[in-house]
A and B are shown apart, each in its own frame.
Chain A
Amino acid sequence: MNTGVPLIYFLILAAIMFFAGVYGFLTRRNLITILMSVELILNSVNINFVAYNRYLYPHKLEGFFFSLFVIAVAASEAAVAIAIIINIYRRFTTINVEDVDTMRY
């Protein structure tokens, strides 16, 4: 049924995206870029779900639907996060995490 790209390619792509996202989350200094890294993680999840569904369980659509919900929830998460980032910008006049450091160990 499936010709062409084998499943493992998708999984490797998703894994690379996931860990790129985690790396970006930990090393980036701009809040918007950190948010983008989170989106990268969530999209890698979507790829994984869709690929598993298409290749291994094509008769049930659970994976497809789950990825739809993940997209919707990620959007709402980004909305709240950006609202808070705007507030951060008003308070600190910067969105660099190095400067948003009123609390630390």
Chain B
Amino acid sequence: MNLVNFSLMRHELLLVVAALLILIVEIFASSKSRKSISLFSIVLFAVITIVGFLPSPTGTLFGGMYEVNNTRLIMKNILNIGSLLVLIQSVTWLNKDENHDKISEYFILLVSTLIGMNFMISAGHFLMFYLGLELATIPIAALAAYERYNNKSAEAGIKLILISSLSSGVLLYGLTMIYGTTGTLYFNEVAQLYGNENLQILGFIFFFSGMAFKISIVPFHLWTADVYEGAPVNITSYLSVISKGAAVFIFIIVLFTVFPLIIITWQKIIYVSAVLTMTIGNLFAIRQQNLKRFLAFSSISQAGYILVGLIGGNQIGMASVIYYILVYIFSNLAVFGVVAAISNAKGKENIDEYNGLYKTNPGLSLVMLLGLFSLGGIPPFAGFFGKFFLFTAAAQNGYYILVLIAVLNTIISLYYYLLVVKAMFINNNEAPIEKFRSDFPTRLALGICIAGIVITGFASIIFEVIKNMSFGV
């Protein structure tokens, strides 16, 4: 190991250093200066995010267990941006009195999940992949149970940890079959040996089910709504955006690099699960009253659209999935930012409590409107282009019926996104949520999200850059 090798692992090592620094600051911070821990951590993380964009060498480490190339770098950078936004959004919540003594816990746990995701994305061997996956999921369960005196939070935590350990068990059982039939666990060696034997197909199905839990693909989605509702809002936004994004990233890498020889098989599986995920996610979202539950089902249906994008296994498919995650981070965090601001200030999370929000809080309503329009895919915003590229990628390989179903689902999803818009702008309410002024971090984060929604939509160079770094089967 020399310095060049270390610089390959730049993202992970910087995050490890950050976690240790926050730990040290925590030890020496007096009880009065605790609030500055969040400022310190966010500045530190912002520096790491910027350093992540510097040009980096590519290559492999540890005999091929760890691999860096341009695709993986851009994925890590996207996750960094999203996590930075989540951190900025959570300052208001962390400054509450009941969270006062555990501010640094939040940052350390969140940074360690991000370390896990980065290792997972850089994996070149299933062992590294598994360790990254576990490092990314175990601390999140602790975060979901963060509000110790809240029944719902504890319930969300236990549901998340049990489901994620079950899903890793299922995934590992698939890995044993992959190992048993090929005798290796290196991605590039498995890729050459993995064919269409029965045991290999079975191993893939177990592996796929394990990943489906993490991405919350129907029929493995049942935990999503409960965990999203119970966890604190800022953790929910992290779960729905960053966790899911990282799982999608590694899923697409594994599908394209490890299982190219059984592409016919996984296309069939993904076809069925994409249709189910979109439809069931959308239909259940219509009947939700709690906004966090509503967004949980909306994020399930978004996972369905992502599956539509990657089904073709072509280069534009991968590019569109990465681009869509970027857009999804901005749009979903805009919506979640508003929900978090209102939930932290007023404790209200139901859709009918948002009636008449526009009259009292026009700024927040407008941000929410833009976020929902982008999620729904209304043209000038980035969400439209994201969906457009996803569907193009599927249509290129001749999946016209799937694209038709996806477009029909987009229309259903518009209906329920507009229900929220209608509640905010049209419905009358005797006692709407009172006017309040959100503080600087919230406004900053929401501003970045809106800028992101507009810029990623209009700047075609972003998609071009991502496309040049992507690859097909």
Contacts and interface: CB of A to CB of B under 8 A. Distances in A.
Contacts of B230: 102-103
Interface residues of B, number: 39
B176 A48 contact: yes
Most B CB within 10 A of own CB, among A69, A76, A91: A91
Interface string B168-187: 11101101110110011100
A80 to B, nearest CB: 5
Contacts of B179: 49, 52-53, 62-63, 66
A22 B148 CA distance: 29
B141 A62 contact: no
A69 B196 CA distance: 29
B294 to A, nearest CB: 13
A81 interface: yes
A69 B130 contact: yes
B452 interface: no
A45 B162 contact: no
A81 B180 contact: no
Contacts of A103: 152, 155-156, 225-226, 229-230
B180 A52 contact: yes
Contact of A80 (B127, B142, B168, B177): B142
A84 interface: yes
A90 to B, nearest CB: 8
Contacts of B165: 38, 42, 74, 77, 81
A92 B169 CA distance: 28
Contacts of B173: 18, 41, 44-45, 48
A103 B157 CA distance: 13
A74 B175 CA distance: 16
Given A38-B169, A66-B185, A69-B131, A80 B161 contact: yes
A50 B175 CA distance: 13
Contacts of B141: 80-81, 84
A34 to B, nearest CB: 6
Interface string A5-33: 00000000010001001100100000100
B161 A84 contact: yes
A88 B161 contact: no
B187 to A, nearest CB: 13
A69 B127 contact: yes
Interface in A47-93: 48-49, 52-53, 56-57, 60, 62-63, 65-66, 69-70, 73-74, 76-77, 80-81, 83-85, 87-88, 91-92
A21 B176 contact: no
Given A48-B180, A56-B180, 6 more contacts: A42-B165, A42-B169, A45-B176, A52-B176, A63-B179, A84-B141
